[in-house]
Every structure is written in structure tokens, then in C-alpha cells.
A and B are shown apart, each in its own frame.
Chain A
């Protein structure tokens, strides 16, 4: 059980990406030694001076399925985890690599004299993957909620066990084929406390639609909405389906339609600015929402960093309302979802279950 390779303080010993400055890394031969990891955490905390206080509001567990996935998620996890001080346990399980290996990297993040994040990255390949779950159980801080960021498909025994033990599980159905929403809906029907970054992505569309119907001269249309149509960029995505699912769950006998149009502008995603901008339109993201409430039609669409709501009746139409899209920073959506530390978002559950019913044809 003992680690057979000596610890290196701040220097990599395993193949792969360089660790962060101040990272302590250990490789285990057979199984994870949780006690050794706790000891390394203590050392990491005490480095650079007397042991400072540690502030934690949750256990943030990220379950990812290869190193590349972890690298893509790393910044968002760190930023979100700093906004919500936590112990971050990143479990990277790569069964595709046959050779067995088990490595733990440990570091801390300090802020204002306190430790605001303890980070443990457990990477396992081959059959060593089976050790990760029990290692995670041993490393959880007591008395704190456990929120799991799930990087895989929303199915399987592991996820079922996670659903039973976690206070909340956050997925991103926008990063997966929309057909997987059916599996998400099944879990939600059984009461799983799921959250979804794709759901957080459509908050501005929901706000614009709701605020537009609050305008005094447009309230008369609230009871007349008959049809909703969503256009997605390039391909039908989960965000569009969730938006329609939400509308269907809120408005009785609503006819819905979803389609894809155009393509995604890769160049716009490359722009780099001093001040963060709204996220560029991605594949499958919502580009237009149209609500038909005869004799009026409401068209919500995106123009650069704004969402605009146009209303047309017997006239040429006018711009009724607009909102600014929030600036996109790493971890923003995750940090939003982490504000709900336990339990279900009932609105999301209803929307996702309704969205799943729009599959497989989705009336495209």
C-alpha cells in the first residue's frame, strides 16, 4: 500500500503535464493511501509559514474520464472553487490506458491569509480506476455538502451511486449530444438532485422573455401564447431543447418547434479582450426564440453581447426590451450552479423532463 516512489516537492514525477508551483505529488503502487494524502495536505498548508486557517463551504468533487477532460475543466473548477471555498477532489479515471497507475497531486490556494481551496487530483489509469471511489469517500471533509461535477454521460452505476450520496450533481448537457437529455430526464424523474450548466446558459433568455411579458403594454399577451419556436446555431443543442421544455412546462398547450440554422463563427470565439465579454455563440446554442401570441409575435434574438426582444403586431414592430449578456469568465456558470448547494431545481427538472419528450425527432 505504501507509495514506492518518493515524494517530490513541487517537481513532477509522473509523465504528463507539469504540476502547478507548490504541488506535492505522490504515486501509489497498489491503492490510494488516504492518510498519506492528508499528510501532504497538511504539509501544503503549512508551507510558507504558520498554519493558516482553512475555510471550506463544500466538498467539490469532479469526476472526469481522461486527462484532457480535466485540463479543459481545470480553470473553471479552480475559479468556481475559489468563489466557493472548498476541498476540490478531482478524480480523473482513464480506463482506456491499460497500464495501471495511481497518482495524487496535492496543493492549496491561499487568499487573504486563509486557505480557501485544498486541491487533490487523483489520476488513475487501467484497473487502478476502481480505487478512486473509496479514496474519494475517505477524503471528504465532514459536515460539508458534497457537490459532484459529472463529466460523463448521465447514466451508469457509478452515477447512480453518486446520485444517492451527493447533495447535488452538476452536469453540462450542452457538452453532450442532446439525445442524452433522455437519460437526464429519467434521473430527474426519480428525484435526482441534478443541476446543468446548459440550464444556466439560458438564464438570460428566460429573463428577457419574462421581463418582456412584464412590460405594462404587453401583459395582455400573457394568456395568448400559442407557439414557441427556437433556432439553434449550427445544430440543435440541449440549450434550445431546455428552453422549449421550460416554456412547455410553464404554458399549457403550447405548440413548439426547434430547428438549426447557419453555422458557428469560429473567429469570434478567438477574440481576446481586456474586459471579459459574453461567451461567443457556440454550436447548438440558442440564436433565436419566437413566441406567437396572436396578433403579436415576440422575437428574441442575440446581437453581439445583447439579447433583444422585438414585438410585432399589425405594425412594423419595435424593440420592446433588451438585456446585456453577462461577461463570460472561467467558472462563471459553475459558480452560478454552486449557489444552490443541495436539492433540486424544480424548474430545471420540469424543463428537462419536458425537453426529453421533444426527442428524438424534436420536430426539426
Chain B
């Protein structure tokens, strides 16, 4: 395994992508189909380590986007491309569908209150579902169908009895945002791309109106083409090149995660209540299964000042419960196992900002990527590739491009015969490190030496699920840290949770006493 391309900063590259989120990595994988000479610069210690990792994993259909927006266009196109997009990556895509539930709250009280009940019922059961379908058709969303009240309950028995009708959108999907991003990055690297982690872009050098290089805290890379996929920091990177003019305002989204054992069958598709003219900064969220089987509720949408504010307050947790109480009145609240939040990166216009800079030749913005950014990723990559071709990246496909990512073995998904064979070859696959999720030492080692290496606990966790189970690392935390230290050749006190100052151990036993005695 060669991890040298990760750490060495190259002198030059045909294309430099700033930011290793899902957009940046999807673009990189597109670029390597034409040229291997692409570099991704990421300030964090792993790919997918910013907005991407806290994404709710939904591959939206475009149903929630305004007709005529770039978001709507790329969302519908991205969803259409998804199966082909993940092919060969070893990433699980599930098309679970979305159920929009129509309830008496679907119409705002200032409309429904003024009309006779009969008319309201007619509107809700006949008119509104057709409006949703027509809206979807205009955007090109295939396969939507109207559900009667009975069909709603048949498909989703836990939905409120107040439901009067529904619309089912079968194209809605689920994909792990970080597993997808890791896979995209690894496949790009397999095809020649270089991913430079822990490196911050400090300036973009422009000469004579043209991009000349990207300056980082570790040196400069000469390049004629820069793709700004810096997520929350895309405005700052654009300003460095003088190619800005938009502002990213961080908006927090908090979600709750529930115990797989209790909620795995609670909903079968994503379920959301449809509310017209309802003021909300996101599409309103919903109840969603995850690829792992846990149910998720959320997300919220709260404007924050700090691009790093991933905290979640007691009030936000209550707010999420309150929001879904109407849709799922008997929801098992006590099955909650986690609350987390991520920061979206919208612009003031609330639409994607994708395009070449008019003033700075060779600078391409891919900014304002919030939901449905994950769903749109294949289409974003496609669009950006078109722009890059116009800017000089060859249109010919490389003959030696390999679309298949090498995926390490997964013990928990193997048959006993396969396990036996694997353990015989390498006994580390017989040592179960994570008791809850049955992850072996062999898999942890694979993650640490992967194409995009996992260099801290969270990175190992994202790739293997070590510590994601019931005990939340109580049993396996030390063992995982020990393996990291051994494989990286560092003292265990230097192992971190998520890079930077996120140290796990303060020192050895007796050390504090010795320090005190010496003082």
C-alpha cells in the first residue's frame, strides 16, 4: 500500500480541487476519467470530514426543489444517474422511496379555515396530490403515484390516523455520505489523483487574470485550474482568488438517531408530512431509515454564527420530537441513541453557485452546496466536468481508467466458510475488536492502510463501524487506539478522535504523580 501521494505536496497539477467533501471527490473521480493529474486539498484529517459527514444520507428526487432552480435540475439529473454513479465503488445504494403524507395540516389554517369542510377534503384528497404530481412531472421526476389513505397505512402503519392521502416517490434513495465520499476519493486515487489531507489553502495566486497556483500552509501547487468545492469555506476561498461575491451563511441541521433493534421496521420509506406554504428553511425533514437500519428524525434548520457550531441543545432535541409527534404519534422516544448536527453551506440566494469565474480564468466555483447536494453530486460532477473541458481538460476518455474500487473484506457480511478461509490467511480477521458490530482487527488494519488512510478513531469508525454499536466504544475504544498507534508508529497518547487537539489519552499512569513530585 502506498500512502506517499497523500502526504507529499506536488509542485504542480492540471487541476486542483479545494475540499474533499462529496462534491470535490465526485468531481475528482470525474476528472480522472480524462486526466490523472488532479490534486484534492483538504484541511481536515480525512475526506468527508466537514458538512458531508453529517448529511442525512438521502438521495432526494427533487420533489422539494423549486422549478427552474439549478438545485432542482441537478437534483433530478443526479438522482437519475445514481445507480451508474455508485457502480464499482462498493457502496450500498437503497431506493427506499419517499412517502409524502397529506394531513389536515397540509393546508395552512388561513386557507382551510375559510372553506367548507367538504371542499377542504376534496382539496386534500384530490387536488393537492395531483398538484404534487404535476410539479414533479414538470421537473422530470419519474414514477410518482398518488396513495389513498388506506394505502398510506398499509405501507406505513405508524403514520398518524389523521392522514387523508399521500404521494409516493419511488426514486428517493439512501447512501452513506461518508462511505460514498471515501469510495469516490479512493477510486480517484487508484486512477492517479492525489488527496492531500491536513493542508489548508491560504491563497489562490492569480496572474494576468488567470489562475497560477494554490498556496497552502505547506507550500504552493502550480496549476491553471482550481475547483472551489470548499463547502462552508467556499466564500473565503473564492475571495482569495477575487472570484467571490457570494457569502456562505452556516445553517445548522440537527437530527436524532434511534436504536436499530427497536426502529429498523418503524418506517419502510422516508416519510414526511406535506405542508403547503409552510415557512421552513429546509424541506422540513422527515423520518428516514438509514443504510444501517437505524431510524433518523430531522433535520432542523437553524442559522448559526460559527461554521464549526455542531453542538445540539436540549431545546433542539425537544423541537425535533415535537415536530414529528403529529406525523408519528406513537413514536418510541426512549429508543434514541444519538443526537448530532451538521452545518449546511447555503448562499444568500439559496441556490447552488456552480460555474467558471468571469473575472478569473481557470477558477470554477462549486459553492452553496447544501441539500440536495448529496443527491445532485453525480450531476454536479458532470456539469463541472463540462466546464473543465471548456477550460482545457481533454475530452478523450483514458483507456486505462479503472472504475472498480478495491473494497476490503467485511467480516460481518461473510459466510462462515469465507471467514474461515480469511482467518487462515490472516489470523487478524479472527480477532473481533468491536464486540457490538463484530469488527475484526484485520478490518481495522485495512482501514488504517487504505488508499485514503484512516489516521484517527473517527476515521476508523466511519470505515468499519468500530465503536458505533451499543457500547459506543466502551469496550473497544482502547483496542482500536492501540492498533492505530501500532500501525501508524506513534505513541498511543498521540492518537486522536478526529485530528487536531482531539487527544484521547492524557498520559501514562504514575506520570501526573511524577510531574507533581518534580514541581
A and B: bona fide binding partners: no
A-side residues, CB < 8 A to B, are none
B-side residues, CB < 8 A to A, are none
